[in-house]
Amino acid sequence: MCLAIPGKIASISGDDPLMRTGKVDFGGILKEVCLAYVPEAVIGDYVIVHVGFALSRVDEAEAQQVFAYLREMQELIELEPDGARVSPAAPAPSPPDPAPAPR
C-alpha cells in the first residue's frame, strides 16, 4: 500500500509550470517535490504528495488531521506485543537451504 502524505510548501523554483518544483516540509524533513500538477500552489500551501509529486492542495486543518492519524497509527504499532516492529521496507527472511538429497 502506498500513502500520499501532506506537506507544507517552503519554497518554489522554476517558471515553467511543467518544470516547477518546491521544497516541501514534512514535519521538519524537506524534500524536493514536483509541483506540475498543482500550478496554483504557493509558498505556505499544504499539498498531498505521492512518490515525489504534489497531487492536490489541501487546507491546513485537513493536513493536521492526517498528521494526527499518522501519529495515532504509530502509537498503535508501539502497543504490539513485545513491542514487535517490522519495517515495511525490510526484506523477508530467505528460506533455509534445502538438505542435500541422500545418495
Specify if 101 maps to a domain. no
Specify if 53 maps to a domain. yes
Q: What is the pLDDT of residue 87?
A: 43
- Return the ∠ at Cα 86 (arms to 80 and 91), rounded to 5°: 165
Write the CATH number for 59: 2.30.30.140
Q: Give the residue numbers spanning the domain of 72.
A: 5-81
Q: What's the whole-model pTM score?
A: 0.67
Specify if 92 maps to a domain. no
CB proximity list for 72: less than 8 A, separation 6 or greater = none
Number of domains in the chain: 1
Q: What is the pLDDT of residue 21?
A: 97
Specify if 75 maps to a domain. yes
Per-residue pLDDT tens for 19-65? 999 999 988 889 999 999 999 999 999 999 999 999 999 999 999 89
Give 88's pLDDT tier (boundaries 50, 70, 90): very low
5, amino acid identity: I
> How far, in Å, CA of 24 to CA of 46, rounded?
9
Specify if 98 maps to a domain. no
